[in-house]
Amino acid sequence: MKELKIRSVHLSDKVEILRGEVRSFLKAEREAGHFTPHCDSWLSGYDANFSRKLGQQNWLGMTWPKMYGGQEKSAFERYVVMEELLAAGAPVAAHWFADRQTGPLFLRYGTEEQKKEFLPAIASGELYFAIGLSEPNSGSDLASISTTAKKVDGGWNINGSKVWTSGAHHAHFMVTLCRTSARTENRHEGLSQLIVDLSTPGVSVRPIRIMTGEHHFNEVIMEDVFVADQRVVGEIGDGWKQSMAELAFERSGPERFLSTFPLLNELFQILQEEGANERASTAIGELVVRLVTLREMSLGVADLLEKGVSPDVTAALVKDLGTRFETEIAEVARQVVTTPAALQPRFKTLFAKALLHSPGFSLRGGTTEILRGIVAKGVGIR
């Protein structure tokens, strides 16, 4: 069996100073009533104004080259900004996917024209992307997608539909995985990534509501949608390799264990005010120990990114452990909070969102079973 090595990271003073700046900014924004903390705010907290403010603070596209609107900061500087935003439950959903994965995808595979067109606008918090991978009959088995793009004069003609497309009703573009040549024995061949402008004729974005009634994800139907050759990402036929590289960014961040942190924070406050009994203290203590460990592991993933090493296996492991943790925060809250405290409006909102969003945590970005398969292969036991 191969060992999975995760290095322990010590954050420098420079990084901690940046953390202080982000905290002060968030405190001022909260006190000014510009946002209220929410659980799962990276998926459901859409606020274009807030994203633009983060762009003005230079906290988007942080690790990208300056010539494309970035700041050439380290993966750790980016990490502390992300963790502070998530811990505060700030509304970061508008730009989240573009900053996390579409930007790095363009940096790695995009043309010069695409980098110049898209990256500065993403870094200023003004341009949003959706991720068009899953389809009604293809989720975990992504290579079975049936959306097709056929070559036409000057571009490609797309037909097909994507599903569970987070934020597509707000996004300007969707990076869309399509089949560009007929399926062969190697199902990973013949797939390509195309940038679909979601305002193009032939695109319909239909809401899918979650059980709270909220609208965060969609079905995106494409009927004879034209995409110009200039909007192909990387090489035609390399879509599988490129999508897998993108998924490593998708799975590697602190959002995979901090989605319900605002509820944990609220739990502390309630138990401090009420005086925690032994059962509650033990339950919270256990959560905190796991949080510290997960954070160490997650920083280890950021360390791999900083060194340019693909974090895919480690990120899969951290995501599996992380999503279980963020789901259990809601369960512990249910068990330890007394009825009067549970009826406080602030608690009720955080708790309801944590509980009702949590079934999606272990599905989005790759299900538990798929992640465990990746880890098993990575350590050589499968």
**Both tokens assigned to 15:** 């990084």
The reply to whether 326 belongs to the active site is no
Smallest gap from Cβ 135 to ligand FAD, in A, equals 8
Say if residue 306 is exposed, middle or buried (CB neighbours under 10 Å; 0-12, 13-18, 19+): middle
Q: How far is the CB of 293 from ligand FAD (least distance, A)?
A: 24
Tokens for 338? Answer: 């007394």
| Comparison of 157 and 368: residue with beta carbon closer to ligand FAD | 368
CB 222, CB 132: distance < 8 Å: no
Pick between residue 165 and residue 252 the one whose CB is nearest to ligand FAD: 165
The number of residues that bind ligand FAD (CB under 6 A) is 19
Residue 220 Cβ, how far from ligand FAD at the closest point, in Å? 9
Question: Which residues within the stretch 130-159 sit at the binding site for ligand FAD (CB under 6 A)?
Answer: 130-134, 139-140
Residue span 30-49 as binding mask against ligand FAD, x where in contact by CB under 6 A, dash where not: -------------x------
Is residue 51 close enough to count as binding ligand FAD by CB under 6 A?
A: no
Q: Select which of 250, 255, 266, 326 is catalytic.
A: 250
Residue 292's Cβ-count burial label (10 Å; 0-12, 13-18, 19+) is exposed
Q: How far is the CB of 48 from ligand FAD (least distance, A)?
A: 18
**Which DSSP state fits 176?**
E
Q: Which of 106, 164, 249, 347 binds ligand FAD (CB under 6 A)?
A: 164
Burial (0-12, 13-18, 19+ Cβ within 10 Å), 170: middle
Q: Please report how the helices 261-274 and 278-306 are oriented relative to each other, as an axis angle in degrees rounded to 10.
A: 150
> Which residues, 6+ apart, have CB-to-CB distance to 107 below 8 Å?
64, 65, 68, 115, 119
Catalytically active residues, by annotation: 250
Q: Kindly list the residues in this chain that would bind ligand FAD in the complex (CB under 6 A).
A: 43, 130-134, 139-140, 164-166, 217, 360, 363-364, 366-367, 369-370
